[in-house]
Amino acid sequence: MKPFSHGEYGSKIIVTTQSEKVASMVHDLPPYHLTTLSSDACWNLFKKVAFNNSNPIVPSELEEIGREIVEKCNGQPLAVKSLCSLLRHQSNSKDWESIRDSDIWELSQKNCNILHALWLSYQYLPSHLKQCFAYCSIFPKGFQFAKEDLIKLWMAEDLLHPQKSKRTEEVGEEFVHDLLSRSLFKKSIKLDKSVCLTMHDLVNDLATFIVGDLCLRSYCSSLNKASNNKIRYWSHLKGENDNCEKFEGLVEAKHLRTLLLTSTRHFTAKLELANLLPLLTCLRVLSLYNTSITELPDSIVDLKLLRYLNLSGTRIKKILNGVCTLYNLQTLLLRNCSELFLLPPETVNLTNLRHLDIECTSIKEMPKEMGTLKDLQTLSTFVLGKDNTVEELKNLQDLGGSLHILQLENVVKVEEVTAARLKDMKYLTELEFEWSLKSDGGSRNQNPQEVLAGLQPHTNIKVVKIKTWRGKKFPNWVGDHSFSGLEHIELLGCMNCDSLPPLGQLPFLKQLVICQFTEFLKIGDELYGGSAEDTPFRCLELLQISQMPKCKEWSLSGGHFKGSFPKLKEIVLKASPDLTAESAYLRLWKPLKLVDATK
């Protein structure tokens, strides 16, 4: 209640809840009880969702059946929506009649506290989707999970079956899309504006009901030792109010396949991980995300069936060689392990590894022969050292997502860069190139322009970041119009650069950040690119220019400027004392949100 007492005078707060107890605690006015939807409102909602049209024409043979189904929903909008999503996949009147006449409508609410319509939606799921949906009972109510994380968990539990023409991850994406289309998942926006998934509380109840004793969410459940032998999935995803006694029952759960622990401060204080792991030999999934562990016990080698290991956010300092004997391992997550400096050379023995995340670690160099891990689908970071080369990437053509290549000053021959074949990596969506600040300028004994030119990505790329590059002129691929899918570019710390690439001719560029060009003197016409008839930066929404102390002029010649930036929403300008928000050209952008750090 405390946050509610500090708002501006006149503010109004609406709290929605399914709990009478919550309503009685927070209300200042008598609570308003929502009524069910009217029959007409339910029918209108039904039509729009079932036929994916705001004003559909319903076939006469389906309308009568549809209205009868709507009546059975008793004015519950979630029930209507879930059934619509189901019927959208049924093609004829017989399918609709089957749902209308289902025995599930006769179930007593006393025996099953799940909406009949939701239960029907589950019953009509294909068997492979039933398993994947039920597994999501491991997440607590309101929990937000990333699509990619869920697919990795499904894969570890062998719930995804690869097809000849599709990667396993692509099959998982289809499953997620199907569950979204049936309203069993819904999209949610996190505080950092990233898109994730969640389940309605009633849908979560359905998944929990289906799994029964096979799943335990220990933060909200009391342990029944008699049922420990049945448990297959165990999660503790909220670190507050840790009760160490809850974890003692793990020793009885000998058939456990998934163990998810997050932010559990006292986990290792009362429970010796070394003694526990040999008892959990059926584990496929082990997550110790953000827990207090500092090292793995040698007994990790007993988890021969392990496919998913998440140590992200821990203070672990070393990956044991024993981890590299877990030959079934598909996913190894080490993000934000800031005290981890080395991967063991035996990492290359993990021939089934598909996802390796070492972003925001302190790793100094990749193990040799990383290119032998040909099943890798994601590799967050590749750190060049003196004993390995960027050429090792040439065998990892299936890499997707983001790839951050560090310490590019260690490139010895330009031929190594071109041999890496970044141009052929069609699944990558984000590439970041970074040279160390301590380097004296570009690669050893090589022209930095040639190195960056050899790093040209596939034209499918959406995000490009170039950091602390020491060249003077960007290669032709930076800003080339063939990169029509590029949406975000960051050029940071390019201190020797004296001109900008023609970024204005990228048709769908939405965000542009230019920072720390210390020797840069003038923003000229070359930035716009194309001819005077074109509209430069036609999709740009965010423009940030900062730390350019010698830049004194932004050229407006050629008539480019006035028609540029038609969709710009925000400018962050903290470049130099001579390039301020008071300059005449910025008055064209008065309606925009403007951040001027020079004032």
Q: What is the pLDDT of residues 36-69, one digit of tens each?
A: 888 888 888 888 888 777 667 777 778 888 888 8
- 533 and 584: one domain? yes
Same domain, 585 and 506: yes
State the sign of the Cα–Cα–Cα–Cα dihedral 107, 112, 116, 119.
negative
Predicted confidence band of residue 357 (pLDDT cuts 50, 70, 90): very high
**143 falls within a domain:** yes
User: Cβ distance 465 to 431 under 8 Å?
Assistant: yes
**Within a domain: residue 34?**
no
Q: What is the mean pLDDT of the chain?
A: 83
- pLDDT category at 584 given cuts 50, 70, 90 is very low
User: Is the pLDDT confidence value at 591 over 50?
Assistant: no
Task: Decide which of 471, 505, 530 is a domain's last residue.
Answer: 471
Sign of CA dihedral 144, 195, 166, 177: positive
The predicted pLDDT at position 286 comes to 95
Under the banding of pLDDT at 50, 70 and 90, the label for residue 326 is: very high
Lowest mean pLDDT among 133-147, 234-248, 302-316, 364-378: 234-248
Q: Could you give the number of structural domains in the chain?
A: 4
Do 467 and 528 belong together in one domain?
Answer: no
Three-state DSSP state, 490: strand
Q: What is the pLDDT of residues 334-347, one digit of tens each?
A: 999 999 999 999 99
Q: Which of 199, 212, 214, 220 is nearest to 78 (CA)?
A: 199
Task: State which residues form the domain around 60.
Answer: 39-110
Examine the domain organization and report whether 167 and 73 are in the same domain: no
Same domain, 516 and 585: yes
Q: Are residues 465 and 393 in the same domain?
A: yes
User: Which pLDDT does position 8 carry in this prediction?
Assistant: 81
Q: Give domain status of residue 482, yes or no.
A: no
Residue at which a domain ends, from 180, 206, 232: 206
**Contact, 497 vs 474, CB < 8 A?**
yes
Residues 381 and 436 in one domain: yes
Please tell me whether residues 74 and 134 are part of one structural domain: no
Can you list the positions of beta strands (E) in 181-336? Answer: 186-189, 195-198, 215-217, 233-236, 258-261, 285-287, 308-310, 331-333
User: Looking at the structure, do residues 162 and 66 belong to the same domain, yes or no?
Assistant: no
Q: Tell me the mean pLDDT in the region 488-517.
A: 92
Length of the chain counted residue by residue: 599
The verdict on residue 321 lying in a domain is no
| CATH for 152 | 1.10.10.10
- Among 471, 505, 535, the domain-final residue is 471
State the average pLDDT over residues 109-116. Answer: 58
Q: Enter the tokens of residue 26.
A: 């927070």
Q: Indicate whether 290 pLDDT > 70.
A: yes
In a domain, 266, yes or no: no
d(CA 16, CA 405) in angstroms, rounded, equals: 47
Token match 């939606």: residue? 121
Looking at the structure, tell me whether residues 442 and 504 fall in a common domain: no
User: Which tens digit of pLDDT belongs to each residue from 138-164?
Assistant: 999 888 999 999 999 999 999 998 777
Show the CA angle centred on residue 305, arms to residues 302 and 309, nearest 5°. Answer: 85
Sort strands 570-574 and 195-198 into parallel, antiparallel or unpaired.
Answer: unpaired
State whether 80 and 177 are in the same domain. no
Amino acid at residue number 449: Q
In a domain, 176, yes or no: yes
Within-domain flag for 582: yes
- What is the per-residue pLDDT for 46? 85
CB 556 within 8 A of CB 536: no
Give the separation between CA 398 and CA 426, rounded to whole angstroms. Answer: 8
Q: Is pLDDT above 60 for 225?
A: no
Confidence check: pLDDT of 523 > 60: yes
Q: Is 293 inside a domain boundary?
A: no
